[in-house]
Amino acid sequence: MLHALALVSAALLCLVPWTDTAHAHGSVVDPASRNYGCWQRWGSDFQNPAMATQDPMCWQAWQDNPNAMWNWNGLYRNNVGGNHQAAIPNGQLCSGGRTEGGRYNSLDTVGPWKTTNVADNFTVRLYDQASHGADYFRVYVTKQGFNPATEPLGWDDLELVAQTGRYAPSQNYEIPVSTSGRSGHHVVYTIWQASHMDQVYYLCSDVNFS
Ligand SMILES: [Cu+2]
């Protein structure tokens, strides 16, 4: 009985619309998702006007809504039923289809997002503070020729490069990814289907194949 109650309260915690960072979900931390990267680089200095020229995509994100960074772990949709492409229109992939009342809309902005250098084979690392587990992860990378700095991201710009099975609840997951034939700025798009309920995270990470 106690165990059942604990499960119920754990499920309820994820339904409450928390506005602070106390509630734990997760994100891709390496290569850093757009808002996780902006939180890492500027969270302790987010009013510094130098950001406008040094990191303009983070600047516009902080100007649009600082909660996109404070809640770097909350970019998810509930009850998608596996129909990711139906839930998320082209041009809205990085905001999870403008989820959470538009909190993350700035992450769809087209432009020169800061990148993490990667090789053809790299590892996506996801931090799951609440140990939700995963039914699966899907990792896509943009096709060679697509330019994230000038074009809005759509489903047909992506190529599936990894599809996993279940991951037992833990705080850190690693997804090995193999690609070939890419250079320059690309977007890594990670779908995390959590296991505690039908809760799906949609995470854009900017990378530079070097
Ligand atoms: Cu959660």
| Contact by Cβ (8 Å): 174, 125 | yes
Q: 24 C-alpha vs ligand 1 centroid, how far in Å?
A: 6
Centre of ligand 1 to C-alpha 198, Å, is 11
Q: What digits encode the pLDDT tens for the residues 105-142?
A: 999 999 999 999 999 999 999 999 999 999 999 999 99
Strand-strand pairing, 116-118 and 199-209:
parallel
In the chain, domain spans: 2-209
Superfamily of domain 2-209: chitin-binding protein cbp21 (2.70.50.50)
57-100, pLDDT tens digit by residue? 999 999 999 999 999 999 999 999 999 999 999 999 999 999 99
Reading phi first (left if > 0) and then psi (alpha if -120 to 50, else beta), residue 181 is in left
Determine the length of the chain.
210
CA terminus-to-terminus distance, the chain: 54
Full-model pTM:
0.89
> What separation in Å is there between the alpha carbon of 130 and the centre of ligand 1?
6
Using the mean position of ligand 1's atoms as its centre, give its distance from the Cα of residue 190 in Å.
17
